[in-house]
């Protein structure tokens, strides 16, 4: 009985050794084939996840050829990755007295800011904090000529919305001679001169719009 167990153990050991040799040979052949194809085998599976569909805040250039007669290009500031980033838009002004061109431009820009980004802008992560229904008018009696008055006091706007409006106006003809943007709420509300500073564009939710009281 003892002899039989020894023979069985020997045969079992021989079979395992044979299988291990074949397995090692197969692994060597596979490694050689992979190396011949320029592929290096790895011991651990690697999963890099799905490829990103779009780089945040990256947009293709504006389609200038699609503008209709009377339209012109402007830049408005939207929010992307908690910063202010300018995007190109096309708009046209309604007809009116030349003296009110600045106010009509200011309202047209405000209308653009109120629109929720769509298409490529939305896919790239752009948003707006300016709420619909806000309007702008020219200076009230006693105001400086470059003043603009919003239908809501600037202090009632979110930091992002105020920063969007200030920087959009500062970068357009709505701000006379590209000076500081003089804004106030309805008549009687104090006017302030706002500046679109680099710090505010970078951190609009944390850095308040630099302002000084006018008058």
List all residues 6 or more positions away from 110 whose beta carbon is below 8 Å from its beta carbon: 130, 134, 135, 136, 165
Instruction: Please say whether the beta carbons of 204 and 79 come within 8 A.
Output: yes
Instruction: Please say whether the beta carbons of 94 and 103 come within 8 A.
Output: no
pLDDT in tens, 150-171: 999 999 999 999 999 999 999 8
The predicted structure's pLDDT at residue 211: 85
Ranges of H-type helices in the chain = 2-36, 101-114, 119-123, 159-170, 198-202
Sequence-ordered strand ranges (E) for 127-199:
136-137, 147-150, 181-184, 191-194
pLDDT in tens, 85-118: 999 999 887 776 655 788 999 999 999 999 999 9
Q: What is the DSSP letter of 190?
A: P
Name the token pair of 190. Answer: 């104090």
**What's the CA gap between 193 and 203, in Å, rounded?**
19
**What's the CA gap between 211 and 196, in Å, rounded?**
10
Instruction: Please say whether the beta carbons of 179 and 146 come within 8 A.
Output: yes
CB atoms < 10 A from the CB of 80, how many? 19
**What's the CA gap between 3 and 96, in Å, rounded?**
114
Q: Which range among 34-43, 129-138, 154-163, 196-205 shows the weakest confidence by mean pLDDT?
A: 34-43
Higher pLDDT, 165 or 210: 165
User: Which residue matches tokens 């944390």?
Assistant: 206
**What's the CA gap between 42 and 16, in Å, rounded?**
26
User: Which residue matches tokens 């040979």?
Assistant: 25
Span 71-75, mean pLDDT?
88
Instruction: Tally the residues of the chain.
Output: 215
The predicted structure's pLDDT at residue 21: 57
Ordered by start, the domain boundaries in the chain are: 1-45, 69-214
Q: Is 56 helix (H, G, I), strand (E, B) or coil?
A: coil
**What's the CA gap between 10 and 196, in Å, rounded?**
86
């Amino acid at each position: 009985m003892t002899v039989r167990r020894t023979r069985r153990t020997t045969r079992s050991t021989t079979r395992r050794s044979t299988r291990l040799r074949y397995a090692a040979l197969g692994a060597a052949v596979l490694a050689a084939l992979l190396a011949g194809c320029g592929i290096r085998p790895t011991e651990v599976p690697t999963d890099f996840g799905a490829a990103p569909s779009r780089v945040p805040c990256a947009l293709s250039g504006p389609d200038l050829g699609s503008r209709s007669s009377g339209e012109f290009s402007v830049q408005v500031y939207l929010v992307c990755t908690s910063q202010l980033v300018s995007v190109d838009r096309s708009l046209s002004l309604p007809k009116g007295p030349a003296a009110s061109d600045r106010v009509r431009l200011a309202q047209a820009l405000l209308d653009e800011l109120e629109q929720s980004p769509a298409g490529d802008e939305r896919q790239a992560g752009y948003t707006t904090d300016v709420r619909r229904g806000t309007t702008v008018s020219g200076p009230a009696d006693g105001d400086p000529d470059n003043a603009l008055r919003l239908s809501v006091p600037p202090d009632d706007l979110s930091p992002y919305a105020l920063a969007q409006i200030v920087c959009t106006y500062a970068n357009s003809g709505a701000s006379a001679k590209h000076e500081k943007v003089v804004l106030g709420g309805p008549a009687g509300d104090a006017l302030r001169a706002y500046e679109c500073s680099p710090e505010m564009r970078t951190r609009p939710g944390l850095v308040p719009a630099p302002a000084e009281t006018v008058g």
